[in-house]
Structure 1
């Protein structure tokens, strides 16, 4: 049984290439603060200005590739909110960035749910655990976030997959909270997560790392980069890892490998072509955790597994793509991106059918699912920078197209056996797979979006963000039960999604902002009204206002207030006895306050902290859910992680980390029939950086608190938090 942590040194890439950056900047108060850096080049210029001339002369040439940011906890810029490299203080919406250095310090790359644990640093994001033991399960501002619902992106392109997403090859994770259809099309309204991958470096960089920890967890990884030719017009980067782990849960284990090569070619000074690919092979034990009983959760040893030892999830995921950028001049840039992806999952485990709370008998049914999922996405953006009198503009005009082809097949529903959760036996016999197929789907989905956005600078301290997007969404779906006629469904939806925002900066270090944003998500073409007509798309609308402050040169805070509504939610038809009959009259609403703090307080002392108060509930409904709280959404949640590293003396490089994660009580289902209790988890770390190597020990759940991360939105799956675990890691750069 295993759990582990691994440490990557990607956060030190810029430091290795730029020795002068090691100079410690003077920390200034708000009253002393000068205009903060808005680009990587500005940031470097500010650092250079503080260096002695002799050190500036020794500094090596550095060329920024991709959207790479300076290392550290604070990222000054982000691209997810606008599709342009924009200072976060100029964005009229809450966006938080989790750089690789935070993932490294918290030891998250080695955890079984690295992405979920990473985004839990952000206010308003709830990490529910791994759905059925293998799938990222998250909520942002009370609304579900998943690859199935279009909320995950990789380098700005929609990313569809099965299984837990990895963070090992990422430069950072950007979390944009609230509706984002203006630039990305259909998605749930809570927000989106953009995975920004590491880009090639001009100078040689080679890193090896390994980790081992509790429950026989082991992991080895590599990160190589450099030039392929002498004039450095061809660069490469390669990330890869292999991991194997057990679990504190009986019979549960996982194994996986990941490869991510990138090649970047420069054609003159103005054109670059970046080719990329990823391959992931993963196997995990499917695990639905515990169950609800009465108004609480079953009281069992947290190691108890309520399934069969043979149950398993596996996936092969392969993608290829490119990014072509051409700069006509300083005012006009063309960008074209493409990605093709092939995902082949298999899910083989008995499903939980019903639970007798009086006797503890859990009834299981056979289940096997496999199939092919293929996606093709392309997008083209034209970015123009110009002025109309004294008003500056950065205009983005773009078009994207996506095609998704799904051909899954299922074997589901036959009775399997009954186990007693208080005295389980594990002698179930494996059942056939392909021979039991009884349901088939064949879906083709085409998405076309056209969008326009203008970032307007009316004055140096007054900025507008205005835009709109038109989406056309076509579904051709078919379903066929074994021995039943094939059913065909066709549905076409279209939607205009506007966005408006304003930023006012009374002093350079303070940004006051307000925005209105929208989202839409088409309902499946197989879901129909009682009269056979298709459902309208679900609509999201949000009003948000807030304050962003640069408290010091490397310390930033964001305070956000929002009111988010999701309309056209389908609910059960109260006039029908058929549970499949639904009406589209529902509305869900989330209102809240969020606070985020990230950066460096003094040299060596870094922090990321957050707090969220969320009031998420059903605001309109005709089937008994009126005023119910949205499941898996606590009213209050907070997170703190801080590290301190000695900057001088014989122990220079020695550091410690400490963190606390609080999640308030929340309901496990929309009917609010049972409650998942609140918890506080405490984490810690000790590390030592010396020259080109780093050693660390991470402690997770230091006081061995028993807690539950979330549920599958029903009474039949409640996910158990991990106990006290220790992971040691070592990484070397050469």
Structure 2
């Protein structure tokens, strides 16, 4: 049953009958009801229906169990219902111009429901609109593939890195792990750089490992998003949504510990400020200290994510969010490659210097103001800042082959004389270690304004988005003079040469200030022609201005590089047909663009490359919404890819040997399947499969038909969880997660105009990783155990032919948490 103490707090007027409509008919002033529903264990209950009896006004609770409902002032019967729970009614009063916060509801399953299928509160894959889409469109109405990984899944899997979260998403994968301090993400054959990674709807620099402890969910909007955000890669975008403030008091304390001296305490606190009904806060903080299965590699980071929510009257919310990350770790470029072959050495083999380090500081602040003009229209403004800076001191990626005759002298680590080797470098694995250093400071600013709402013209219903945004990057990059020969190392025998342990002094070479300024305006309309037929159409205009100034320390000269100006229109159109309320079929076309930094054979700036994207799919809710199954097919064509003009070409300009032309073409074709269930009798499953082929279909440089690097043709994922909710094992949860990554290739793409072995590919083996987890919750205390890579599979993430990073071996982790 539902325990509802509301009448003791908000008694209805005695003169009002139980089914009364609003008393204050003389005024149309509106108010709001707000509250939260928890299950018997105190966990937020999602998907509970909260409605005002006798009206069409109602809503569902969100992932945090909270709801907000707007209605004209007056007295009502509030109906709270959910399959598996007893429906309850209670009298409430809506005060005009005010938000009435109701006491927390504790829900327990009704006894008469125990023999039926019990569904824990949750929304299906096709019931979760993604905030990154800006327009509140139900996924069944959206002619585009989406996927959301909720907090419950993140906790069940003990997700530590973004790669752990993406293991639940078909067609989005880790393409590289350069230096061990970042995870390079790709989808549908295209790289997701910082332009494609967002936090709370704002672009986010992903050059360092993002922190996941503060995540409420991860949203993935696949395919084209250029109409919403302008210059983004074609494969899709990621949006990291952090936990939000709550008015009820609560939180948690946790400690994660694992293999290789891994320790990570966490803190999450939230509540009203001084008991206020208008101001709430939340603070997430964590500290991480770890070593690694890679010798000499260690890391340390501190992260804090504070936020404040202001309820300004009954129609306006102001959300202030910030975060700060300080990360220090050992840069690790892996085990190297010998003549485009991965050497057979231990997974732990470390080839960098012991003093190498990279330090990163990242901070952001975002203000989001949302004002409800009425029940159907709202305006939303966002102002944001992000600062990113890092400094690297390290050996370079191990790729330079030593001379076949070695003249380096010294002793090994044990004091024994060094044996001088002669012969093939590929055979002996002798490498020269050179050094590198760099510094980067980036400041990013964003302003965005969106107007969304619904309107009807005749029989046609419109859901409209009108908006504009402006952002800019200011970047300062310091390049240092490289140290070409620091010492030598042998991949197969690290003790072969005496290590040079002296920390060198680096001298500055250049300092480059660059800026990117963008502005865009967009309009989009979801047109309901009939309840079964809907059309989504829109267009964006984008303008971009870039320029840079470089200062040379040696000559003390400053060089201004000419500014370049780009603009483009990005149209979008999609058609959705819904023969059933639980089934939709869609087809869409979108156009996006990517800017080119080069120049043509006359010295003029290259125009942007335009990319055409086509997508068709089926979204289905099966078994009364208990299982979502979505299938999508797509084709993405960059038909004007920038390529260097060959010296043998008739348009080659000897005075501009690096000139380019829009003469290439890359085509990506694929198929994606996403499956996800609601929790049913303790069981929940999710899974996916992706096939992708991204290849050169036209090129003056690369072999036509050759595949682009880093992209697996096949990926698949599956997770199954079972929770005991009755008996002596109540609170125990078991889980299995598996990820399959098909064959990929790294190295250097083969060129049709170059003979010999100057460019070769490195095949990377397919692998299947299995993770197992066990969790137990008793009252407020929970304990979770995880064994990752149970089968101890070995594969690699490789950038070009020089950052060859093995995946982690079998590891153990445990998390102990207490809910406040």
> Same fold per TM (> 0.5)?
yes
Deviation track 1:450-480 (CA, whole Å, cap 9, x = no partner) reads 0101111222222221111000000011234
* Secondary structure at the counterpart of residue 182 of structure 1: helix
Label 1:455 to 1:24 Cα distance change in 2 as closer, same or farther (>3 A).
closer
CA apart distance, 1:93: 0.5
Label 1:653 to 1:100 Cα distance change in 2 as closer, same or farther (>3 A).
same
Query: Would you say the 8 A contact 2:316–2:369 is kept in 1?
Result: yes
* Secondary structure at the counterpart of residue 494 of structure 2: coil
Query: Would you say the 8 A contact 1:72–1:599 is kept in 2?
Result: no
CA apart distance, 1:199: 1.0
Residue of structure 1 aligned with 2:798, choices 704, 707, 711: 711
Query: Would you say the 8 A contact 1:458–1:464 is kept in 2?
Result: yes
In structure 2, distance between residues paired with 1:14 and 1:346: 47
Label 1:167 to 1:72 Cα distance change in 2 as closer, same or farther (>3 A).
farther
The residue that corresponds to 1:564 in the other structure is 636
In structure 2, distance between residues paired with 1:292 and 1:322: 47
* Secondary structure at the counterpart of residue 368 of structure 1: strand
The residue that corresponds to 1:536 in the other structure is 607
CA apart distance, 1:53: 4.0
In structure 1, distance between residues paired with 2:68 and 2:363: 38
Residue of structure 2 aligned with 1:94, choices 128, 135, 145: 145
Label 1:146 to 1:47 Cα distance change in 2 as closer, same or farther (>3 A).
farther
Q: What pairs with 1:324-473 in structure 2 (closer than 5 Å)?
A: 324-352=369-397, 354-355=400-401, 356-415=425-484, 416-425=486-495, 427-432=499-504, 435-473=506-544
Label 1:370 to 1:21 Cα distance change in 2 as closer, same or farther (>3 A).
closer
* Secondary structure at the counterpart of residue 180 of structure 2: coil
The residue that corresponds to 2:404 in the other structure is none
* Secondary structure at the counterpart of residue 579 of structure 2: coil
Query: Would you say the 8 A contact 1:658–1:685 is kept in 2?
Result: yes
Q: Does 1:697 align with 2:743?
A: no
Residue of structure 2 aligned with 1:78, choices 113, 122, 129: 129
In structure 2, distance between residues paired with 1:74 and 1:693: 29
Q: What pairs with 1:137-152 in structure 2 (closer than 5 Å)?
A: 137-147=184-194, 150-152=195-197
In structure 2, distance between residues paired with 1:23 and 1:172: 14
In structure 2, distance between residues paired with 1:263 and 1:70: 27
In structure 2, distance between residues paired with 1:19 and 1:261: 24
Residue of structure 2 aligned with 1:720, choices 800, 806, 816: 806
In structure 1, distance between residues paired with 2:104 and 2:177: 40
Q: What pairs with 1:188-267 in structure 2 (closer than 5 Å)?
A: 188-267=233-312
Query: Would you say the 8 A contact 1:590–1:615 is kept in 2?
Result: yes
In structure 2, distance between residues paired with 1:275 and 1:472: 29
CA apart distance, 1:481: 3.9
In structure 1, distance between residues paired with 2:734 and 2:59: 29
For structure 2, the residue ranges without an aligned partner over 5 or more in a row are 1-35, 49-57, 70-77, 93-100, 106-119, 402-424, 649-653, 751-759
Deviation track 1:261-319 (CA, whole Å, cap 9, x = no partner) reads 00011111001111111110001111111333456422110000121111111111111
The residue that corresponds to 1:547 in the other structure is 618
CA apart distance, 1:431: 4.1
CA apart distance, 1:681: 1.1
In structure 1, distance between residues paired with 2:735 and 2:716: 17
* Secondary structure at the counterpart of residue 103 of structure 1: helix
Residue of structure 1 aligned with 2:225, choices 167, 174, 180: 180
CA apart distance, 1:49: 6.5
* Secondary structure at the counterpart of residue 183 of structure 1: helix
For these two proteins, the number of residue pairs brought into alignment is: 697
Residue of structure 2 aligned with 1:156, choices 189, 201, 207: 201
Label 1:20 to 1:277 Cα distance change in 2 as closer, same or farther (>3 A).
closer
The residue that corresponds to 2:417 in the other structure is none
The residue that corresponds to 1:520 in the other structure is 593
In structure 2, distance between residues paired with 1:76 and 1:37: 13
| Structure 1 range deviating more: 550-559 or 99-108 | 550-559
Label 1:468 to 1:566 Cα distance change in 2 as closer, same or farther (>3 A).
same
Label 1:238 to 1:567 Cα distance change in 2 as closer, same or farther (>3 A).
farther
| Structure 1 range deviating more: 285-294 or 696-705 | 285-294
* Secondary structure at the counterpart of residue 315 of structure 1: strand
The residue that corresponds to 1:732 in the other structure is 818
Query: Would you say the 8 A contact 2:362–2:389 is kept in 1?
Result: yes
In structure 2, distance between residues paired with 1:423 and 1:345: 32
Q: Pick the structure with greater CA Rg.
A: 2
* Secondary structure at the counterpart of residue 761 of structure 2: coil
Deviation track 1:434-458 (CA, whole Å, cap 9, x = no partner) reads x511122110111101010111122
Label 1:413 to 1:126 Cα distance change in 2 as closer, same or farther (>3 A).
same
Query: Would you say the 8 A contact 1:17–1:62 is kept in 2?
Result: no
* Secondary structure at the counterpart of residue 731 of structure 1: strand
CA apart distance, 1:14: 6.1
CA apart distance, 1:135: 1.3
The residue that corresponds to 2:570 in the other structure is 497
CA apart distance, 1:529: 2.8
The residue that corresponds to 1:666 in the other structure is 744
* Secondary structure at the counterpart of residue 152 of structure 2: helix
* Secondary structure at the counterpart of residue 135 of structure 1: coil
CA apart distance, 1:132: 1.2
Greater relative contact order (Cα < 8 A, sep 6+): 1
Q: What pairs with 1:500-649 in structure 2 (closer than 5 Å)?
A: 500-524=573-597, 527-552=598-623, 553-575=625-647, 580-600=658-678, 602-649=680-727
Q: What pairs with 1:41-52 in structure 2 (closer than 5 Å)?
A: 47-48=81-82, 51-52=85-86
Deviation track 1:343-373 (CA, whole Å, cap 9, x = no partner) reads 1111111213524534312233221111321
The residue that corresponds to 1:8 in the other structure is none
In structure 1, distance between residues paired with 2:171 and 2:46: 35
* Secondary structure at the counterpart of residue 86 of structure 1: coil
In structure 2, distance between residues paired with 1:514 and 1:653: 44
Q: TM-score, normalised by structure 2?
A: 0.80
Query: Would you say the 8 A contact 2:788–2:810 is kept in 1?
Result: yes
| Structure 1 range deviating more: 82-91 or 480-489 | 480-489
C-alpha RMSD of the superposition: 2.8
* Secondary structure at the counterpart of residue 631 of structure 1: coil
In structure 1, distance between residues paired with 2:638 and 2:357: 35
Query: Would you say the 8 A contact 1:688–1:694 is kept in 2?
Result: yes
Deviation track 1:706-728 (CA, whole Å, cap 9, x = no partner) reads 222x211x111222110000001
In structure 2, distance between residues paired with 1:89 and 1:423: 58
The residue that corresponds to 2:409 in the other structure is none
CA apart distance, 1:530: 3.8
Deviation track 1:174-228 (CA, whole Å, cap 9, x = no partner) reads 1111121100110111111111121111211121111111001010001111111
Label 1:224 to 1:217 Cα distance change in 2 as closer, same or farther (>3 A).
same
* Secondary structure at the counterpart of residue 183 of structure 2: strand
In structure 2, distance between residues paired with 1:170 and 1:70: 20
* Secondary structure at the counterpart of residue 224 of structure 1: strand
| Structure 1 range deviating more: 235-244 or 326-335 | 326-335
In structure 2, distance between residues paired with 1:47 and 1:431: 67
Deviation track 1:562-608 (CA, whole Å, cap 9, x = no partner) reads 00122432223322699845433222111011101112362211112
